[in-house]
Structure 1
Amino acid sequence: MSFIQTELGAALVVLIVGFLPNEVWRVLGVLFGRRIDEDGLWMQWVRAVATALLAAVVARLLLVPNGALVALPFWLRAGSVVMGLGGFLAFRRSVLAGVLAAEALLVAGAWWLGVGG
């Protein structure tokens, strides 16, 4: 049995190939991030792009769902988006609250409709 096939070998491969390359970028991000002006033009652009990407993902999940969302009707998916936005705004712009509110409505709606397992 070669070293790679052992549990220790597999753990080392994951550490070397998966963890360390990502950690280098995290450390560099922390070091260079301290000097970035949060209200600068560059950060405004980054926030705008991030917001646009998030809106595109939500629109795709709503209009062209895949996986388990295909079985749920449009009105339930749209209602969960509205519920998520309400949770986000109700809890001081908390993304976690918005996601939990939307997910709660999706799960409750799927259960009520008898969709899924």
Structure 2
Amino acid sequence: MSGLEAIVGAGLAPYLALILVGFLPSEVWRVLGVVLSRGLDEDSEVLVFVRAVATTLLAAVVAKLVVFPSGALALVPIWARLGAIFFGLGAFFLSRRSLIAGVVAGEVFLVAAATLALG
């Protein structure tokens, strides 16, 4: 039995496909980005623009999830979703711009509000 047959026989084929199709193609671009950005100045206009575009895209995804939720999030009232954002932002700024504090605080608020609203 070859190595590939053993993987398929053990039920690991979906994980292998995930690694080959999901992880490796994006990892190549990440490594290439690190290699090519080695000599760039962090405050250069190009990187400021890239950072602004990335932040804008992230904000758009969050706004889409809040305004037009799908799945289980659609059951959570809009006040709870918006409250989680503002609560997370407040925790972010009160904790001296700690990203983990903002994310955890927003998630705790969302879960608590959803439990109260749906519970």
What TM-score do the two structures reach when normalised by structure 2?
Answer: 0.78
Q: Distance in 1 between matches of 2:53 and 2:45?
A: 12
Amino acid at match of 1:84: G
1:106 to 92, 105, 110: 110
| Equivalent in 69, 73, 77 of residue 77 of structure 2 | 73
Residue of structure 1 in register with 2:53 after alignment = 49
Contact 2:77 2:117 in 1 (8 A): no
Query: CA separation of 1:44/1:83 partners in 2, compared to 1, >3 Å: closer, same or farther?
Result: same
- The CA distance in 1 between the partners of 2:24 and 2:66, in whole Å, is 37
Aligned length: 115
Between the aligned residues of both structures, percent identity stands at 51
- Answering whether residue 98 of structure 2 is matched by residue 94 of structure 1, we say yes
Write the distance in 2 (CA, Å) between the matches of 1:109 and 1:14.
34
Distance 2:60 2:89 in 1: 15
Which one is further off, 28-37 or 2-11? 2-11
Unaligned runs of 5+ in 1: none
Query: 2: distance between equivalents of 1:15 and 1:76?
Result: 36
Alpha-carbon distance in 1 for matches of 2:41, 2:56 = 21
Judged with a 3 Å threshold, the aligned counterparts in structure 2 of structure 1 residues 17 and 48 are, in CA distance, closer, same or farther, namely closer
Deviations 1:74-101 (A, max 9, x none): 1111100101111211222122211111
For the 8 Å contact 2:76–2:118, the answer to whether it is kept is no
Q: Which has the higher mean CA deviation after the structures are superposed, 18-27 or 53-62? A: 18-27
TM-score of the two chains, using structure 1 as the length reference:
0.79
**Structure 2: 5+ residue stretches without partners:** none
**Structure 2 CA distance, aligned partners of 1:27 and 1:15?**
16
Give the alignment partner of residue 59 of structure 1, picking from 59, 63, 72.
63
